[in-house]
A and B are shown apart, each in its own frame.
Chain A
Amino acid sequence: MPKRTDIRKILIIGSGPIVIGQACEFDYSGTQACKVLRREGYEVILVNSNPATIMTDPEFADRTYIEPITPEFVARVIEQERPDVLLPTLGGQTGLNTAVALAESGVLDKFGVELIGAKLESIKKAEDRDLFDQAMKSIGLELPRGGFAYTLKQARDLAKDIGFPAIIRPSFTLGGSGGGIAHNQEEFDHIAGDGLRKSMINEILVEESVIGWKEYELEVMRDIKDNVVIVCSIENFDAMGVHTGDSITVAPAQTLSDMEYQRLRDASLAIIREIGVETGGSNIQFAINPDDGRLLIIEMNPRVSRSSALASKATGFPIAKIAALLAVGYTLDEIPNDITQKTPASFEPTIDYVVVKIPRWAFEKFPDTDMTLTTKMKSVGEAMSIGRTFKEALQKGVRSLETDRFGLGSDGKGDIDEARLIEKLRVPNQDRLFYIKHGLTTGMPIDEVHSLTGVDPWFLDQILQLVEFEREMRAAGPHADIIRRAKRHGYSDVQLAFMFEKTEAEIRSLRLADGTRATFKSVDTCAAEFEAYTPYYYSTYEQESELVRSRRKKAMILGSGPNRIGQGIEFDYCCVHAAFALKDEGYETIMVNCNPETVSTDYDTSDKLYFEPLTFEDVMNIVEAERPDGVVVQFGGQTPLKLARALEAAGVPIMGTSPDSIDLAEDRKRFGAMIAKLGIKQPANGTAFSYQEALEVAKDIGYPLVVRPSYVLGGRAMEIVYSEDMLEGYIKNAVKASPEHPVLIDKFLEDAIEVDVDAVCDGTDVFIGAIMEHIEEAGIHSGDSACVIPPYTLSAGLLATVEGYTRRLAKSLKVIGLLNIQFAVKDDVVYVLEVNPRASRTVPFVSKTIGVPMAKLAARVMAGRKLKDLKPVRADFEKYVSIKEAVLPFGRFPEQDTVLGPEMKSTGEVMGIDTTFGKAFAKAEMAAGSALPVAGNVFISVNNKDKRHIIGIAKSLAKMGFSICATAGTGDTLQRAGIDAVLLNKIHEGGPNVIDLIKEDKVDLMINTPLGKGPRTDGYYIRTAASFYGVPLITTMSAAQAAIQGIEAMQEEDIGVKAIQDYHKN
């Protein structure tokens, strides 16, 4: 069936900010959809609040609304744009939920908008647990039995249905405590009763025990003619009980016989038909009892998912792109397979390698939180690796994570707590993989490890093979044959160096001398049955390499690896732009990255894609094979940057700013000397290699101090210390955070205004993208702070100083490419805090605000072009206000205090743009999921320092019609200033305190500034409760001030929507 000609305009809803469970995979899927639908001649309207996405680049959709993804705002876009259809299946759960809300409220009917891809009825059938259960029963499939209970009686009724053993899981307990497996009624009553008491919302989940069952996923696609194909099967290494987003997963399934696999396939076909997903992709999760093969359906997502992105990258089958084409009426047989060109998309990919995905967590940033892996996802990113065997892929996967491990152990790193071995195996945790290997090394039998972990014995045997091989290897010594076999098992040079007590360089030259070098194989969807035309490669150690080196001029772009807090989608955005720009400049572009969620790892983005870890060894393998004319290290964050010096030393040509300049900007002494010469001030500072030195530096400078390890991103382990005690406590952690680098110590400028600048320099001229003023004061990590373009409180004189400093610094550092500078302004004096001659987190936000693609511009400059020829022209951005707001993951970590500090904690960001500060701020807060109230009750509790400031804020709130309640101290201040405030008890004084009010839904906004951080203070309980119950919480005076303006704007008028293309026009 050819494509539909009765539709012209298609609305796509994105997934908004990066949060845990919803990351850049939806930028990948949405970007693919936008691209292909426009290529088909449709007009694409996009709504997405996340400025760091490629999809919100003005050239990817005809009309791009960087607006909050709420039913109200999307309805406005619909009213304005009148799309014919809405494609809801590409923007994750956010996009799907918003579409459902619009359909149910009648907005879609009112404006005659048709849902394509999945109809409302199908979405509800898949998403509603009861409807889904009925649907599955009607086709003879089963779900695990169970449900939620709020009383012991309800729980007992559920248990009656389920039988024993039964799993009891309390929802939302502090520390994840409570819950367990009940084998009889007595145990059940005890655990369920305890769980109900411990749950903050008195809710427990009672379920049939499937813990330890094998978990599988199938990616399914269906077209309008009811052709169905399975794109990929995925087997979880971690058994049921760990969220699939927190599981190591493997493609294809490893331990299913064909009979069992076909049973899953048959069930998948039946499910997608029964649910009625008309066209597109779905993801179906299964559990199989390893003892008897009993099959249960866990869930179905009637949309493109994180697993679809993984499956697309794992097989080369672009699910989202094809889903978009199917949604407009094409059938699978009408769509060619990009990779083979000659065969159609109506087939099932088959692969001849093993794919391993490993999650990456950020528990170090949330020390109060429970680190047990459960059915609630906690990881912030993931790396994917490809190898010819599971052993090779697993080891590559571990080193792709960039957690300073170079394979599955035997790299001289990591601590094993021998005493906790059993616990570490039994309770799922982020280090379990290493404990499994350790257990096997100490002779624990596979059966025992299996019964503790639930991990399939086949996977355990693979790890045991590594253990046995290492023994053989150590005994044999570093001979050519053993090294070759080690490389085939995925060992890195770093691991071999550790085991053979040599250096990495020695191992490297040893093996190269013996001719043991990486070979490259293609990902081709068909296991080599047909010729592949898409150069998508992975490395392995085999007989034949398929790599064909062209004679073209080549630029290699090093990506940013797995998402983590501090290094996320923004850097992928920059890498993708670099690829586009360098392609335009006539280069053959070569992308190296290992994050399956990203646009950069779409084989369409660059001329060649290498899905590889970003270590020195892995990058050098590709460099040797491709011999690029330039390697780009400044777009992918710290990941490639920290390789720069080693690459340069190995003779690799680095494009743009030289590693020496990067070093100059990082080196305290050299940098200090340079700015002194330029006459630019910086806070007093020093560098310490030991605790003793740190004490001396501190004495010189005086407290408070900002301390941090050098060469980190996202303020990892960055803290403000007010005393010697705090400094001592800090040094230990910091040294652990980055052992090869010293601790940097700076004077902390209290209450200073922080300013960020993004600029491009070609060595001669400097193009300033924008100056951003932070709303939160210095001391809160810039990634967690809201920031505003144009600056809203700084004088013209100060801005001129900031501009002048930026130009001088750029030229002195001989920057070729991007540059980000952070300044602090205190008492009208401008201090430079740090200079980063590389892409920054704000590049996409600035680019979208000013209408100039900064990363592209920088890449062209790095290719030798001059700014005076490129002549970038900014939109008249002084006519509007653009605000970036951070999105924090505290909802996932209910035990974690939400106070902000110098260590970054946000996972993503949104942008609010409008004509005034108030409106833009209101939008940014809505988009971030913490919409400001326009009326109701405000709870205020501030520390003494802020008491003077709070009066004005409280007065404004009272004037705007809010009622105010407060704790005694703050309330007293307010009452004395003539403001009506209801006084509440402290938490330990019992009710009525604020937590009672929050539970009763009687608090609409909270302003709480910390007295001191740390668990178990009143402030801690208040803040975690706010975060848990979703009450907007403001923790700084500057943010409170901004909120007042936002609320005013919302009270004054309806806030409208406007496409980014229109902003750029004026």
Chain B
Amino acid sequence: MSDYKPAILLLEDGTLFEGAAMGAEGETFGEAVFNTSMTGYQEILTDPSYAGQLVTMTYPHIGNYGLNSDDKESRRPFLNGFIVREESRMFSNYRGTSTLGDMLRHHEIVGIQDIDTRALTKHIRTAGAMRAAISSVEFDQSALARKLAAYPSIVGQDLVRGVTGDKSYVWPGSESGATDVVLIDYGAKFNIPRELTRRGCRVTIVPAATSAATILKAKPHGVMLANGPGDPAAVTYGIETIRGLLGQVPLFGICLGHQLLGLALGGATFKLKFGHRGANHPVMDLRTRRVEITSQNHGFAVDAESFPGKSAYGETGVEITHINLNDKTVEGIRCADIPAFSVQYHPEAAPGPHDSMYLFDEFIELMR
């Protein structure tokens, strides 16, 4: 309490929040978004899909159970900043090894706390996700605003290059798997290879820009298109690779992987006003009419109306298999006549409910 250091959060529309510094000191810029999950901040912090973003947690107490060595979803955090109502200065959990503050400082993530995160969330909801700056060093609003104006918008940006690995490797522990899966790493969360490994796959993780030919040369049983950050339309090399894979090998896409599959199939994507980020989104599987509670993290979505010959069961048609019950946006697609499907949400959970794990089973089935 006594080591209270001020910090500010400035949005590009001039809205200002005054709070206290958290994590590393300094200034940072990015797209301000919010996540409504009440648990799972470690997974969120380490999810590469948040690259370029300042993530607000709507639940006020963050850090309560600390961080541990099991729950990270990538090699390090990629987000640009972290915004909470109250950071827990200690942690209480048998697996915990570090406090939130220590982790943020270690990775030089600038954060802010003690602000009205609900007001911020409402603002983002009504005005849309927008660029913002957090600073615990520069308190001159106009100076900060100038720097912020120079910071590029997320639209049209390929953020995948910043998070993907630079060489291919086999996921440790999956070496003896019988089903060969190539996972294209657009910013993959670790739980995707974990779930595949659990189902007997040998998972080879390849960099995002790997070509279709290179992948096909390895003769995998299936290819997994991972999640990842930013605007899918900017990841042109990814779309090209997927076009080369379509019909050649079973495909399963998640999140950015889903959007890229949609684009490869001739569809379009668009930016949602403030995205879906949380662990409570209802998605209906239109084939069974059952509802699953899903983990979500995306700012862009596939346009349901954009597919050519969009008749659901047509020759080259794309079937919309899942929709979001909150806003009726597309949550899943499947090709009618080739083995390829994808979902916008996160069946690998981490964090979030495990309702959609069956999709991994369906992928395994598709590869048989």
Contact = CB atoms under 8 A, between A and B. Distances in A.
B105 interface: no
Interface in A152-168: none
Q: Nearest 9 CB-CB pairs, A to B?
A: A258-B40, A544-B119, A258-B351, A543-B116, A527-B58, A458-B92, A258-B39, A348-B280, A542-B116
30 contacts: A229-B293, A255-B64, A258-B37, A258-B351, A259-B71, A293-B95, A333-B282, A343-B325, A344-B325, A347-B280, A347-B281, A348-B280, A348-B293, A349-B280, A350-B58, A350-B280, A352-B59, A352-B60, A354-B60, A388-B118, A457-B90, A457-B92, A461-B89, A465-B89, A472-B2, A527-B58, A528-B58, A542-B116, A544-B116, A544-B119
B125 A528 contact: yes
Interface string A207-231: 0000000000000000001110110
Contact of A258 (B118, B125, B282, B350): B350
Contacts of B150: none
A469 interface: yes
Given A257-B68, A521-B118, 16 more contacts: A227-B290, A252-B59, A255-B92, A261-B39, A350-B279, A352-B36, A353-B60, A456-B92, A457-B92, A461-B90, A465-B1, A527-B121, A529-B36, A531-B125, A543-B115, A544-B116
A290 B289 contact: no
B61 A390 contact: yes
Contacts of A257: 39-40, 42, 65, 68, 71, 93, 95
A529 B86 CA distance: 20
A352 B40 contact: no
Size bracket, chain A contacts: 35 or more
A293 B352 contact: no
B46 to A, nearest CB: 12
Contacts of B122: 528, 544, 546
A921 B64 CA distance: 57
B280 to A, nearest CB: 4
B38 interface: yes
Given A293-B94, A543-B115, A351 B71 contact: no
A333 B291 contact: yes
A907 B332 CA distance: 55
Contacts of B280: 347-350, 526
Interface string B332-354: 00000000000000000111111
Contacts of A389: 60-61, 85-86
B325 A347 contact: yes
A808 B303 CA distance: 76
Contact of B88 (A227, A229, A458, A521): A458
Contacts of A252: 38, 59
Contacts of B91: 458
A438 B345 CA distance: 48
A346 interface: yes
A262 B1 contact: no
Interface string A450-462: 0000001110010
A352 B58 contact: yes
B36 A262 contact: no
Contacts of B17: 543
B214 interface: no
Contact of B94 (A225, A227, A292, A348): A292
B65 A256 contact: yes
A468 B2 CA distance: 9
A342 B327 CA distance: 8
A468 B118 contact: no
B232 interface: no
Interface in A313-342: 331-333, 342
Contacts of A255: 64-65, 92-93
A230 B355 CA distance: 12
A229 B280 CA distance: 9
B70 interface: yes
A255 to B, nearest CB: 5
A527 B60 CA distance: 10
Given A343-B325, A352-B118, A259 B70 contact: yes
Interface in B90-118: 90-95, 115-118
Contact of B71 (A225, A258, A530): A258
Interface string A586-612: 000000000000000000000000000
A352 B352 contact: no
A388 B281 contact: no
A257 B44 CA distance: 12
Contacts of B116: 542-544
A291 interface: yes
Contacts of B92: 255, 456-458, 461
Interface in A340-375: 342-344, 346-354
B326 interface: yes
A627 interface: no
Contacts of B290: 225-227
Interface string A523-546: 000111111000000000011101
Interface in B9-67: 17, 34, 36-40, 42-43, 58-61, 64-65
Contacts of A526: 36, 280
Contacts of A333: 282, 284, 291, 325
A345 B243 CA distance: 39
B65 to A, nearest CB: 5
Contacts of A254: 61, 64
A128 interface: no
B259 to A, nearest CB: 21
Interface-centre pick from B65, B68, B91, B95 (highest chain A CB count, 10 A):
B65
A266 interface: yes
A480 to B, nearest CB: 14
Contacts of B37: 258, 350
A42 B181 CA distance: 55
A265 interface: yes
A266 B61 contact: no
Contact of B293 (A331, A347, A527, A546): A347
B278 interface: yes
B56 to A, nearest CB: 10
A542 B125 contact: no
Contacts of A293: 94-95
A344 B119 contact: no
Interface in A494-552: 521, 526-531, 542-544, 546
Interface-centre pick from A230, A258, A261, A352 (highest chain B CB count, 10 A):
A258
Contacts of B60: 352-354, 388-389
A344 B43 contact: no
Interface-centre pick from B34, B68, B291 (highest chain A CB count, 10 A):
B291
Contacts of B39: 253, 256-258, 261
A265 B36 contact: no
Given A458-B64, A527-B36, A266 B354 contact: yes
B118 A544 contact: yes
B7 to A, nearest CB: 14
Contacts of A521: 118
Given A225-B290, A350-B279, A527 B59 contact: yes
Interface-centre pick from B1, B59, B92, B94 (highest chain A CB count, 10 A):
B92
B121 A529 contact: yes
B95 A262 contact: no
Given A390-B61, A465-B1, A350 B89 contact: no
Contacts of B284: 333
A262 B59 contact: no
A290 B93 CA distance: 7
A837 B39 CA distance: 51
B282 A346 contact: yes
A343 B326 CA distance: 5
Nearest to B70: A259
Given A257-B42, A333-B325, A352-B60, A344 B71 contact: no
Contacts of B42: 257-258
Nearest to A350: B36
Contacts of A542: 116, 118-119
